[in-house]
Amino acid sequence: MNINIIGRQVNISDDMRDYVEKKLVKFDRFFPRGADAAVTFRKVRDNVCAEITISVGSTLFRAEETSTEYKTAVNRCVDVIEGQIRKNKTRLEKRMKSSFAAAEAALTEGEQPVEEEGVFDIRTKSFPLKPMTAEEAILQMNLLGHSFYAFADADTGETCIVYKRNAGSYGLIIPEKKEV
């Protein structure tokens, strides 16, 4: 697993780096072909916030936890991601097998089966994408009282999304151009 550790307003010590690597090596059994992990530490008031994102192909597993000690935050993140991986694994096995009993038997020894969410209730909505700037989209999002807003970028014509972050700032999602 490729691990990238970043510190924002936090100095990354060798102890922190070793601890994170030791904790994330357990995910190698889930991803034998390799995965990329990005670990970000940042200071939030008197606490340390750990954010771990693991990408495998097009699948992302992400957790963010805040604690007074970085080890506690990392442990919580690892537990959350492990639960996400098991849940995803169970969902995939149920899709591939015709019965739940076969999927439960396929789980490796020592793992606990994760309760499945069931059928997803997906509501579909369509609306015209208006060309605008990110600032105009943020104003529109705030007027509607939403936490995100999809729009067509006035300059590029690409479909973009603005969203409100937990810290109160805003984020902009721009689609990545694939090279052919």
Enumerate the domain spans of the chain. 2-106, 131-173
Q: If DSSP codes are grouped into helix, strand and coil, which group holds residue 174?
A: coil
pLDDT value at position 98? 44
2-106 belongs to CATH 3.40.470.10: no
What tens digit of pLDDT does each residue of 148-161 get? 999 999 998 899 99
pLDDT value at position 142? 82
The mean pLDDT value of the chain amounts to 83
pLDDT value at position 95? 67
The yes-or-no verdict on residue 163 having pLDDT over 50 is: yes
- What CA–CA distance (Å, rounded) separates 175 from 161? 9
The yes-or-no verdict on residue 51 having pLDDT over 80 is: yes
Same fold across 2-106 and 131-173: no
Q: How confident is the model at residue 104 (pLDDT cuts 50, 70, 90)?
A: low
Percent of the chain past pLDDT 90, that is, above it, reads 38
The yes-or-no verdict on residue 73 having pLDDT over 80 is: yes
pLDDT value at position 113? 58
Output the 3-class SS for 110-172.
CCCCCCCCCCCCCCCCCCCCCEECHHHHHHHHHHHCCCEEEEEECCCCCEEEEEECCCCCEEE
Burial 111-144 (b: 16+ CB within 10 A, else e): eeebeeeeeeeeeeeeeeeeebebeebbeebeee
The yes-or-no verdict on residue 103 having pLDDT over 50 is: no
Amino acid in the structure at residue 161:
I
- Helix axis angle, 70-96 relative to 14-24, nearest 10°? 20
pLDDT value at position 10? 86
Give yes or no for a contact between 150 and 134, defined as CB atoms under 8 angstroms apart: no
**CB-hemisphere CA count at 13 Å for 123?**
1
pLDDT value at position 99? 45
pLDDT value at position 55? 87
Cα torsion angle, 69, 70, 74, 77, sign: positive
Q: Higher-confidence residue: 103 or 18?
A: 18
CATH domain 131-173 topology: SHC Adaptor Protein (3.30.505)
